[in-house]
Amino acid sequence: MPTAAALAALLLSACAHERPANPAYAWAYLNEPGEGPKLAYGRPSSDEVLLMLACPTAGGPVEVSAAGIEGEAIALSSRDQTSRLAAKAADDGVTGPLLLARTTPRDPALGNFRRTGDLAILNAGQRHDIAASGDERRGVKAFFKACGS
Q: What single letter denotes the amino acid at residue 91? A: D
Of the two residues 58 and 90, the one the predictor is more confident about is 90
At residue 13, does pLDDT exceed 50?
A: no
Nearest to 32 by CA among 59, 62, 54, 4: 54
Query: For 16-52, how does the pLDDT look when each residue is reduced to its tens digit (9 = 90+)?
Result: 334 455 778 999 999 988 889 999 999 998 888 999 9
CATH assignment of the domain containing 58: 2.60.40
At 57 the pLDDT is 85
Report the predicted TM-score, pTM, of the whole model to 2 decimal places: 0.83
Domain count of the fold of the chain: 1
DSSP the chain: ---HHHHHHHHHHHPPTTBPPPTT-EEEEEEETTTEEEEEEE-TTSS-EEEEEE-SSTTSPEEEEEES--SSEEEEEETTEEEEEEEEEEE-SSS-EEEEEEE-TT-HHHHHHHHH---EEEETTEEEE----TTHHHHHHHHHHHHT-
Mean pLDDT (the chain) is: 84
Q: State the residue range of the domain holding 40.
A: 4-147
